[in-house]
A and B are shown apart, each in its own frame.
Chain A
Amino acid sequence: MGTHNLEELFQNKIDLEIKIEPKNWMPEAYRKTNIRQISQHAHSEIVGMLPEGNWISRAPSLKRKAILIAKVQDEAGHGLYLYAAAETLGQSREQMFNDLHSGKAKYSSIFNYPTLTWADMGAIGWLVDGAAIMNQVMLTRTSYGPYARAMVRICKEESFHQRQGFESLWVLSKGSEEQRALCQDAINRWWWPALMMFGPIDSESTNSDMSMKWKIKRKTNDELRQQFVDMIAEQVKLLGMTLPDPNLRWNEARKHYDFGEINWDEFWQVVKGNGPCNKERLEARKKAWEQGAWVREAAQAYANKQRTRNKAA
């Protein structure tokens, strides 16, 4: 069977909504795109633990501390589901870590912003996880089976993240003058970076669009972003707060909110490594990996010894 024929069969499957599984034939570009996207997604979960980990020891109450720990644990779990999904495509875990640590592999730029106050924990849950969920819900229907199954599991757990974030801000919004100011300040700082999470505007590119054709993605960046803006513009009213965009207003004709222009220079600067915390985040990951090396080696040595002993017995 020629490659051309295989590609046709592959595309037929995709069109019929039949999932692609690890051992099925797939075009090399499909494999590569999935490896890149799934591993970036995994890295985002793992690096995403850092800005929140920053506040575990300073959470304002035992309840908030327990919630934050549970959330950060979930992010670790999500990273593991996703790494495992990427491994089914033939990429080793170690190679993915190496690519992250060398700076070759990317992760969501949102985690290169600092978490300056406690209110940021609420804003991250509500806005950052909220934006992530839009994408993740779409990805539960992605064409690669292991990725789709990982996303189903993640989505089930993610909804707690967003709800606890909103609730945390809601409590602040009912608090003292100072607490209300913290709440508004966090929203002001996280709003635009959250919108950038959806990626460049659709008209940026007219190139062939295989991600859509292969149903790795099913909605465009702008579609997802608009959905997010419409949702948040309503929710923010309940908090009695505002979004930092003078151009945000309901458009009756479109039945959507219009919003202002995103600062794309900032977006690409952060992607390229020049965000406020890029260096710090990567350093923290590398340090954890390097300082954990002896634990990994010791565990392996112990297992080897046990095996030898069991054989001898």
Chain B
Amino acid sequence: MQYFIKKVYYGDIPDASGGAASSNEPQQPNTDWPLWEVFIRSKQGLDHKHVGSLHATDAKMAIENARDVYTRRQEGLSIWVVESKYITASNPAEAGELYEPAVDKVYRHPTFYDLPDEVKHM
């Protein structure tokens, strides 16, 4: 099944309306700098949180670029960077099997237990 998007929305000009010919030159080998994932601790006592990614030649440049790109308004006290290729992610297609063991274990939640109203501090 094929879709054609012909309606032009703000911020999305269809290729057909472009002035220049489409680039048919052979694809050059990719010379992009390596990709890094950036994690930032916004406040002492909080976890580092993933904020986005950027390109850099090495870890030092990745930290400096992360400072410029992600902490222009004092959003961070600490930055972690890791090259994206070293991150192993779970496969969303296998989410069903992966998380299935937790599905039928309602007794792991405190709300599973019915206690008399008289019990305090629990």
The interface of chain B, by Cβ under 8 A from chain A, is 1-15, 17-23, 25, 27-28, 30-33, 35, 51-55, 57-58, 61, 68-69, 72-73, 89, 91-93
Contact = CB atoms under 8 A, between A and B. Distances in A.
Given A27-B3, A209-B7, A271-B13, A93 B55 contact: yes
B72 A74 contact: yes
B27 to A, nearest CB: 7
Given A25-B93, A210-B3, A104 B18 contact: yes
A152 to B, nearest CB: 11
B10 A77 contact: no
A83 B58 CA distance: 19
B9 A84 contact: no
B89 A23 contact: yes
A29 interface: yes
A94 interface: yes
A33 to B, nearest CB: 6
Interface-central residue, B1, B2, B9, B53, by most chain A CB under 10 Å: B9
A217 B23 contact: no
Contacts of A108: 11
A296 interface: yes
A272 B18 contact: yes
Contact of B69 (A77, A199, A200): A77
Contacts of A29: 2-3, 5
User: What secondary structure prevails in chain A residues at the interface with B?
Assistant: helix
B72 A272 contact: no
Given A40-B13, A92-B30, A23 B1 contact: no
B13 A106 contact: yes
Contacts of A92: 30, 32
A204 B17 contact: no
Interface in A14-68: 21, 23-25, 27, 29, 33, 36-37, 40-41, 44
Interface in A170-204: 197-200, 204
Nearest to A225: B10
A43 to B, nearest CB: 10
A24 to B, nearest CB: 5
Interface residues of A, number: 68
Nearest to A196: B10
Contacts of A93: 32, 55
Interface of A: 3-4, 7, 21, 23-25, 27, 29, 33, 36-37, 40-41, 44, 70, 73-74, 77, 80-81, 84, 87, 92-95, 98-99, 102-106, 108, 135, 149-150, 153, 157, 197-200, 204-205, 207-211, 217, 220-221, 224, 268, 271-274, 278, 296, 299-300, 302-303, 306-307
Given A80-B54, A208-B5, 12 more contacts: A4-B1, A37-B9, A81-B69, A92-B30, A98-B23, A199-B9, A207-B7, A211-B9, A221-B9, A272-B17, A273-B19, A307-B58
A211 B14 CA distance: 12
Contacts of A198: 10
Contact of B27 (A40, A95, A102, A272): A95
B10 A80 contact: no
Nearest to A73: B72
Contacts of A87: 35, 53
B71 to A, nearest CB: 10
Contacts of B32: 92-94
8 contacts: A24-B92, A25-B93, A93-B55, A207-B7, A210-B5, A217-B10, A220-B9, A300-B33
B19 A272 contact: yes
Contacts of B6: 205, 207-208
A198 B11 CA distance: 8
Contacts of A103: 18-21
B79 to A, nearest CB: 15
B92 to A, nearest CB: 5
A149 B68 CA distance: 18
A116 B11 CA distance: 25
